Each structure stands twice: as C-alpha cells, then as structure tokens.
C-alpha cells in the first residue's frame, strides 16, 4: 500500500519590501473568509553588542524621516496594486 506524505506549504512571501537606511516596511497580503487586505510591518535593523543583526519595531527620533519615506512608498505601491 502506498502512503502519501502531506505536502508542506511554502512559506508565505511578502508582496513587497521597501528599505530606506535601517528601516524596512514589509507589505503582506492577508486572506480570511474570502477577503484579502494588506498589512504593513515597519522594522528597524541594528547590530547588538555582539555584532549580530537584530530587528525592532522601536524607532528613534532620527528614524522618523526615513519612516515617512518608507511608509509613503508603501502607500504608493498599494495604490498602484489596488488600481
């Protein structure tokens, strides 16, 4: 008798990643009950004391200009995608 192994799902890929400096906005497509909508995750990359790269959602005052650029580009991308 032949047994079937379940197919593993491929990891979900983001719609788009937008980077400016240490900031990255990742745009995801969410789906539920036959509906879909985008969500945006904003993260800042930094190196810890050991020199390893980490991500945080905490922004510094000096990150705000780049955050504005990243979020405006995300808005532009979504406006074009949904047109």
Where do the structural domains in the chain lie, given as residue ranges? Answer: 16-81
3-class secondary-structure state, position 75: helix
pTM, entire model? 0.82
Q: What is the pLDDT of residue 83?
A: 81
- Distance (Å, rounded) from C-alpha 42 to C-alpha 45? 10
Virtual CA dihedral for 63, 66, 72, 75, nearest 10 degrees?
Answer: -70
- Alpha helices, DSSP H, located in the chain: 64-81
- Distance (Å, rounded) from C-alpha 33 to C-alpha 1? 37
3-class secondary-structure state, position 63: helix
pLDDT in tens, the chain (83 residues): 555 656 667 789 999 999 999 999 999 999 999 999 999 999 999 999 999 999 999 999 999 999 999 999 999 999 999 88
Q: What is the pLDDT of residue 6?
A: 60
């Amino acid at each position: 008798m032949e047994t079937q192994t379940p197919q593993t799902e491929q990891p979900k890929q983001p719609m788009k990643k937008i980077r400016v400096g240490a900031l990255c906005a990742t745009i995801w497509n969410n789906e539920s009950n036959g509906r879909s909508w985008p969500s945006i995750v904003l993260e800042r990359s930094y190196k810890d004391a050991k020199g390893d790269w980490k991500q945080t959602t905490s922004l510094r005052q000096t990150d705000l200009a780049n955050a504005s650029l990243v979020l405006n580009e995300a808005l532009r991308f979504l406006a074009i995608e949904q047109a």
